[in-house]
Amino acid sequence: MKVIAVSHGSYSKGLVDSVQMLVGEQESLVAYGLFPEQTVATLTEKLEKEINDTPEGEEILFLTDLFHGSPFNAVVSLMRDHEFHHITGINIPLAVEVMMGRYADKSAEEICRGIMEAAPDTVKYVNDLFDDEEEEE
């Protein structure tokens, strides 16, 4: 399965680098960013080339940073002509979950369903955690 991270700026590159730091070097994990000097059309062309360069039969999972952002819209525009899976709102813990799902030979759909279940646990309001501890004492 190929995993393609797409974001505003260099977030996707940092995401990929961080994930590889945590779980080791990954094959078929690439990052694309949309920078101010680029157009959405240019990004879309690069992503379509990445899709077309993927061996037939290999699943593709896109990870985007922001719902309704320009990178998200570029990926969505490709869904008309290409079959792949797409998760948006990605963060490091969820990206690690994606890689662990690949290790477990899960399908892209299984990984996406698991990500949706894990998502609420990836963010915490730390002040509440301390408040809960104080209440227990």
Reference 98, options 122, 71, 81; nearest CA is: 122
Catalytic status, residue 8: yes
Sign of the dihedral through C-alpha 22, 23, 25, 31: negative
Mean pLDDT of the chain: 95
Q: Which residues pair with residue 60 across a beta bridge? A: 2
Sign of the dihedral through C-alpha 114, 78, 56, 93: negative
| Domain 2-136 part of CATH 3.40.50.11310 | no
CB atoms under 10 Å from CB of 34, counted, come to: 24
Set 8, 68, 82, 85: catalytic member: 8
pLDDT band for position 130 (cuts 50, 70, 90): confident
Reference 51, options 18, 25, 26, 28; nearest CA is: 28
Delimit the domains of the chain by residue range.
2-136
**Euclidean distance between CA atoms 51 and 45, whole angstroms:** 10
Instruction: Give the range among 9-23, 56-70, 117-131 with minimum mean pLDDT.
Output: 117-131
Q: Which tens digit of pLDDT belongs to each residue from 38-94?
A: 999 999 999 999 999 999 999 999 999 999 999 999 999 999 999 999 999 999 999
